[in-house]
Structure formats: C-alpha cells, structure tokens
Homo-oligomer: A and B are copies of this chain.
Amino acid sequence: MPHTKAKPVVNTRIQARNKELILEAALDVFSASGFRGATVDQIAAKSEMSKPNLLYYFRRKEDIYVALLEHTLSDWLEPLRELNPEGDPLTELARYISAKMQMSEANPKASRLFANEILHGAPMIEKFLKGPLRHLVAEKCQVIQSWIAAGKIAPVDPYHLIFAIWAVTQHYADFSVQVDAVLGRREDSRAAEKAVLEILLRGLQVKQY
C-alpha cells in the first residue's frame, strides 16, 4: 500500500497557534503585494517558519489566501448589520460611517486585501458578494428607504448612498499613500472622520421650515 500524505486529524494547540501566526503574516504580505505578488517564502519568513512547515498547515498558497479572506469577511459586515431601523436615521448613519472610518484606521491591511481582491474581479469571494453581502445591503436599503418615506432624511438612492459610504471610508485605508502625499503629511484620522461625516450627512438632513 502506497504512503498517502497524512494530515492531522485533531486540532492541537500548536496548530491553532501556528495557523494564527501564518494568517497574521499572510495579511501583511498579501495586503502589501496582492495574491500574485506575495510569495510563500515571504509569508514563511514573516511567520518565522520554514516553507515546508507552513505548507504543512496550508497545503497551497491559495488556501492561506482564502482562509484569510473568510477570517475577516464577516467582521467587515458587522457595522452595517448594526444599523438600527428604530434609531434616529442621522445618528445611525453617523455611527455606521464612524465605525467604517475607524475600521479603516485600525485595520487598513484587511481593507487593502479586499480592495485588491475586488479590483481583480473577486474570483475568490464572488459568492460572498452575491449572497450575504447583497442580501444584507438589500435589507438595509429597505430601512433607509423607509426613513425617506417617513420624511426623516432627504430622498437619495439608498444603494448609492451605501456605495458612497463604502467608497469614502475605505479610501482612507486603500489610498492612504495618495492621501498622505496630497496632504503633505500623515493624515489626521480624527479630522478625516469629522470631515467625512459632514460631507456625507449634511445633504441628508431634511430642510427645516
């Protein structure tokens, strides 16, 4: 009987620790260089592990990448999920925008990882985009639509409003090099958050009579 490569059956402490180390290193490398640009050697070096050892935990480079995406996808949705239909619209949207700005500030690497994946046609997360993401957005757009119908915010297309929020907030993570270059300094995240809130929300206020 030929020897077939054995994979561990159980999940040991060492596995948990090393997989975590690998994913951490992989986020650095993939977010900086993209899938094709990243090399297994780089990830192995950054996780202080030999390449064969790394490949013992994740058989293929692609497996690391997919695991990494899945590992953070649901986190990404969380702030939108928390948009509360019962709350005050402008407060809720402000909270959502602030949360997204803070995610960009706290974890720009994850943001760049997604940006890169989507930029290249989202081959790995197509199902996520067309499934969970699409459905959650549809649900929240209904909420926004109901706010509009109730005259609580100005009538704007909810889908495009959400796209605008995503675009602007993630811009500060994904294009930080450009932002810093144009400002001539490191961007001040507090000032950015304040400005973004004004720009995106001011137009939603219904005029007072």
**Residues of A bordering B, CB below 8 Å:** 32-37, 112, 115-116, 118-122, 126, 129-130, 133-134, 137, 154, 156-157, 159-161, 163-164, 166-168, 170-172, 174-175, 177-179, 181-184, 191-192, 195-196, 198-205, 207
Contact = CB atoms under 8 A, between A and B. Distances in A.
A199 B120 contact: no
Which of A122, A198, A200: most chain B Cβ within 10 A?
A: A198
A131 B206 CA distance: 41
- Chain A contact residues: helix, strand, loop or mixed: helix
Contacts of A118: 174-175, 177-178
Contacts of A204: 202-203
Contact of A181 (B36, B130, B166): B130
Which A-B residue pairs are the 7 nearest by beta carbons? Answer: A203-B203, A202-B203, A167-B171, A160-B195, A36-B37, A129-B181, A157-B195
Given A33-B36, A134-B184, A177 B122 contact: yes
